[in-house]
């Protein structure tokens, strides 16, 4: 498949300390894994070593549905990276996952970059694989839900 943004941006890799490795590995298998405390069941994102609610270090990764609503968005016009010089406008969205404690993920909204966007719009995840990268990875993108 083609990718939403032109190639050449920095490629994501799991943190060297391993903190978010299950997230990146899960995406390659088309599974969304985010943190959920095994002790008090609090959802948590971005990833952290400790649960911010009960201070348990048993913060596991839980699979959850890649469905959410747009919490905020932005249409970018000015390229700040050489890879985006010929890109034109693109849409970045902040997606809230109500069924997972309201955690938020950043992604792109697929489709016409000049489309109107409404906060609250229901979206579903699309796994964007990059198998030819130096270290293959997968991004979670979003499209308007059916």
Partner 1 sequence: MERSLRGQVAVVGVGETEYFKRGQSPDAEFKLALKAILNACANAGISAKKVDGFASFSNDRSDPSRLAAALGCDELRFSNMQWGGGGGGGSAAVANAAAAIATGIADCVVVFRALAQGQFGRFGQGPRRNSIAGDMAHTVPFGLMSPAQMFAMKVQRFMADHGVKQAALRAISLASYEHAQNNPRAVMYEKPLDEATYDASRWIVEPFHLYDCCQENDGAAAMILVSADRAKDFANEPAYVLGAVAGSHYRAGAGVHNTPDYATSTFKTLAPRLYEMAGVTPADVDVLQSYENFTGGVLMSIVEHGFCTPDGCNEYFVKERFVAPSGALPLNTSGGNLAECYMHGLGLNIEAVRQLWGASTNQVRDASVSMVISGPMVTPVSACIFGKEAVL
Q: Rounded CA gap, 66 and 124, in Å?
A: 6
* Residue 124: CB minimum distance to partner 1, A: 17
Q: Which span (25-33, 55-63, 66-74) binds partner 1, by CB under 8 A?
A: 66-74
- Contact assessment for residue 40 and residue 54, using Cβ atoms and an 8 Å cutoff: yes
Q: Which span (7-15, 25-33, 55-63) binds partner 1, by CB under 8 A?
A: 7-15
CA-to-CA separations, 38 to 3, 25, 51, 65, 91, in angstroms, rounded:
35, 20, 9, 18, 35
Residues 80-109 contacting partner 1, CB under 8 A: 80-82, 84, 87, 90, 92, 94, 103-108
Query: What order do you get walking across the sheet with 32-37 strand by strand?
Result: 43-44, 32-37, 59-64
| Per-position x/- string for 21-60, each x denoting binding to partner 1 as judged by CB under 8 A, each - no binding | ---x--------------------xxxx---x--------
């Amino acid at each position: 498949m083609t990718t939403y943004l032109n190639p050449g941006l920095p490629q994501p890799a799991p943190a060297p300390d391993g903190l978010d490795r299950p997230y990146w590995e899960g995406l390659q298998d088309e599974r969304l894994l985010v943190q959920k405390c095994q002790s008090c069941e609090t959802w948590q994102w971005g990833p952290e070593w400790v649960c911010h609610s009960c201070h348990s270090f048993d913060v596991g990764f839980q699979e959850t549905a890649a469905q959410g609503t747009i919490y905020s968005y932005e249409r970018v016009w000015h390229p700040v990276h050489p890879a985006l010089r010929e890109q034109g406008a693109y849409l970045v969205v902040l997606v809230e996952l109500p069924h997972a404690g309201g955690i938020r993920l950043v992604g792109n909204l697929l489709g016409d970059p000049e489309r109107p966007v409404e906060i609250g719009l229901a979206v579903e995840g699309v796994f964007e694989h990059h198998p030819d990268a130096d270290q293959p990875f997968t991004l979670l993108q979003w499209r308007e839900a059916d």
